[in-house]
Amino acid sequence: MKRFAAMALAATLILCIFVSCEKKATVDGAEVITNDAGQQYAVATKEDGGVIRDNNGDVVILATDEDGQAVTNDKGENETENAELKNALVIGNLIEFDRYYIELPEGWSNNGSFSDMIFRNDSTGDQIWVIERAETSVATAMDQYDMLRAGVLTNFPDAVTEDFPVEINGETCAYSSVYVPVDSEGTPSYLGETHIANGGYCYTFRVTSKRDVTADIDDIINIISTIKFK
């Protein structure tokens, strides 16, 4: 548990938990948001609105007692601790997980679990899956996708493929896709993937849609490229 100056108490406290918010409470005059799972957090922010983080880049939250009241030390300073992220934190357009942050632009919403995040374009239905896997290499993930795409090409000879480099977190990664004009359901289908390794994890970014997103893929890649690892 770490102690921060009392200015954290007077600063605005903001937090949106991944799931939608139900009700609001207060801790010493600061707003606390309760999510659908009944979890409550109060994220400390600076006077300029920036979120307070420790030296590891983790979000700092106010410590509270069993009655939901802020805990202070003998100097009257707020006791604080790092948030153990059971759900994604949504602060403005920044979505934060325990190992990375990613920006979500206007017109997109989020859904999924803590391990697999799904972003959805509210207008087109395009989806970006962020899949985090331990003990899986980028080479293995690419091989798995290549096998999947090969199967698609076998079943749908008119499918169109595309391969090109993209930059994610300062690294050049390979992006591969396949588009089927008419799939087994009689509708268009698009599936693309790129992968990056960080901190012992393989991150797969999977793009899916019921339309050809080739013309808009640069915009989608720009969303993926906002990822920042802690």
- How many other C-beta atoms are found inside a 10 Å radius of the C-beta of residue 212? 16
pLDDT of residue 116 exceeding 50: yes
Across-strand partners of 175? 164
pLDDT for the residue 5: 39
Q: Which pLDDT band holds residue 142 (cuts at 50, 70, 90)?
A: very high
**Residue 121 half-sphere exposure toward CB, CA atoms < 13 A:** 17
In this prediction, residue 126 carries a pLDDT of 97
39 band by pLDDT with thresholds 50, 70 and 90: low
Q: What are phi and psi of 92, to 5 degrees?
A: 65, -125
pLDDT confidence band for 18 (50 / 70 / 90):
very low
Question: What's the pTM?
Answer: 0.70
**Structure confidence at residue 135 (pLDDT):** 86
Of 107, 124, 109, the C-alpha closest to 20 is 109
Residue with tokens 């991150």: 203
Q: State the Cα–Cα distance between residues 15 and 5, nearest whole angstrom.
A: 20
What mean pLDDT is predicted for residues 167-193?
95
Q: Is the dihedral of CA 167, 172, 173, 178 positive or negative?
A: positive
150 or 79: which carries more pLDDT confidence? 150
Range list of H helices, the chain: 7-10, 138-155, 217-224
- pLDDT of 7 strictly over 80: no
Residue 110: C-alpha distances to residues 5, 24, 117, 155, 229 (Å): 34, 22, 7, 32, 19
- How many Cα atoms are found within 13 Å in the side-chain-facing hemisphere of 17? 25
Residues 139 and 196: beta-carbon distance below 8 Å? no
CA dist 114 and 119 (Å) reads 13
Cα separations in angstroms, 183 against 190, 210, 213: 10, 10, 15
- The pLDDT score that the predictor gives to residue 182 is 92
pLDDT above 70: residue 29: no
CA dihedral 23, 45, 91, 27 (to 10 degrees): -10
Q: What domains can you pick out in the chain, each with its CATH number?
A: 1-92 (no CATH), 107-229 (3.40.1000.10)
Work out the pLDDT band at 93, boundaries 50, 70, 90: confident
pLDDT of residue 165: 97
- Cα separation, 122 vs 70, in Å, equals 38
pLDDT for 25 beyond 50: no
